[in-house]
Each structure stands twice: as structure tokens, then as C-alpha cells.
Amino acid sequence: MGSALARAFLSHGFSTQVWNRTAARCAPLAACGATVAGPAAFESAIAAGHIEDDFAALMPFRR
């Protein structure tokens, strides 16, 4: 499901970072334009997702 969502984001022009414990699994998405992130970026994204104001969290992603 994650790769399908990443492909949908990429096809609609969103910059997209991907991560997988097995780096080779990110290669097809990188070929489509995704940025492959390291584990630290993944951990900070999870931490940033734990906030009370969901609307404020989504504002940086508005086009």
C-alpha cells in the first residue's frame, strides 16, 4: 500500500520521500522521482506526526 500511495503522490506532482528497511525496495520509487530517506528522516517524520493540531500539521503540504 505504501508504494502505491507514493506513486500516486509522485504522479500528481508532490515531492515524496520514501524509506524501507531494505534499501533496494526504494529503487523503483527513486526511479519515478522519489527521494530515498534514511532512518533518521523516517523517525523524525513519525515524531512530527504526533501533534494535537492535525490542520496545522497539514498546512506545509498545501499547494
Using DSSP, state whether 36 is helix, strand or coil.
Answer: strand
CA distance 26 to 10: 14
pLDDT at 11 over 90: yes
Q: What is the mean pLDDT of residues 56-62?
A: 71
Query: What range defines the domain where residue 16 resides?
Result: 2-61
DSSP string for residues in 1-59 = -HHHHHHHHHHTT---EE--SSGGGGHHHHHTTPEEP-HHHHHHHHHHT--S-HHHHHG
CA distance 59 to 63: 9
Count of the separate structural domains present in the chain? 1
Average model confidence (pLDDT) for the chain? 83
Structure-model confidence comparison of residues 25 and 39, the more confident one: 25
pLDDT at 38 over 70: yes
- Whether the pTM exceeds 0.75: the reply is no
